[in-house]
Amino acid sequence: MEFVKEFATFLHKNGIIKFGDFTLASGKKSSYYVDLRLVPSYPHEFRKMVKYLENEITQEIGLDKFDSIVSVPTGGLVIASALAIETIKPLIYVRSKPKDYGTSKSVEGKIHDGMKVVMIDDVATTGGSVVNAIKSLKEANISIKDAYVIVNRMEGADNALLELGVKMHSILNILQIAETLYEQNLIDATVLERVKKQINK
């Protein structure tokens, strides 16, 4: 858990996670905002995060159990690209909507019937974008059983993925982050309570 503590502190100190009042892309209100797209601007921490992710996948499912790594643009794709280089695995990605020119396909990269993939994304809230990606993969007869995210906001993504037969793993969740920061007096009890309330909604 040493990584979790260090990483949570790093996120907070560099304003990658902010607490306050925010409106998310979905229009939903939130008591915090986490923007992992900033992490690659810190190469040492970015590499640590990718190596930690690699270790988790190796231990939990094994690198020989899947053919390719898949992601969704843009946040997750940056992480997945780095992971593909570290693990020497092929990388494919799913567009949020098929391009309207050229081949008009929604899955980019080399695919074949029955191939097995692991999904990588940055942050999961309700799981919407990943759910759509999983459906596109299944339509292309690609098998997916596991998805990894860096931060689970704990607002329903786990169940949404489970309904499609995909298990969601996360490196850390918002409760772990908030509790770690609270223990180090970096946030106060009111902020921690607001985060807890948001999860239980």
Structure tokens at 131: 């759910």
Structure tokens at 39: 């992490």
Residues 26-76: pLDDT tens digits? 788 899 999 999 999 999 999 999 999 999 999 999 999 999 999 998 889
Structure tokens at 143: 């098998």
Q: Whole-model pTM?
A: 0.93
Residues 156-176: pLDDT tens digits? 999 999 999 999 999 999 999
Count of helix runs (H) and strand runs (E) in the chain = 7, 8
Does residue 28 sit in helix, strand or coil?
Answer: coil
For 2-200, give the CATH class. alpha beta
Residues 120-136: pLDDT tens digits? 999 998 888 899 999 99
Distance of alpha carbon 38 from alpha carbon 13, whole angstroms: 12
Nearest to 191 by CA among 181, 201, 200: 181
Question: Would you state the pLDDT for residue 201?
Answer: 59
Nearest to 198 by CA among 36, 34, 35, 32: 32
The letter for the amino acid at 64 is D
Question: Would you state the pLDDT for residue 26?
Answer: 74
Q: Are 71 and 119 in contact (CB under 8 A)?
A: yes
CA angle 116, 121, 126 (to 5 degrees): 105
Question: Would you state the pLDDT for residue 142?
Answer: 96
What are the extents of the domains in the chain? 2-200
- DSSP tag of 6: H
Reply yes or no: is the peptide bond before residue 74 cis, omega within 30 of 0: yes
Distance of alpha carbon 188 from alpha carbon 168, whole angstroms: 30
Nearest to 68 by CA among 100, 35, 93, 48: 93
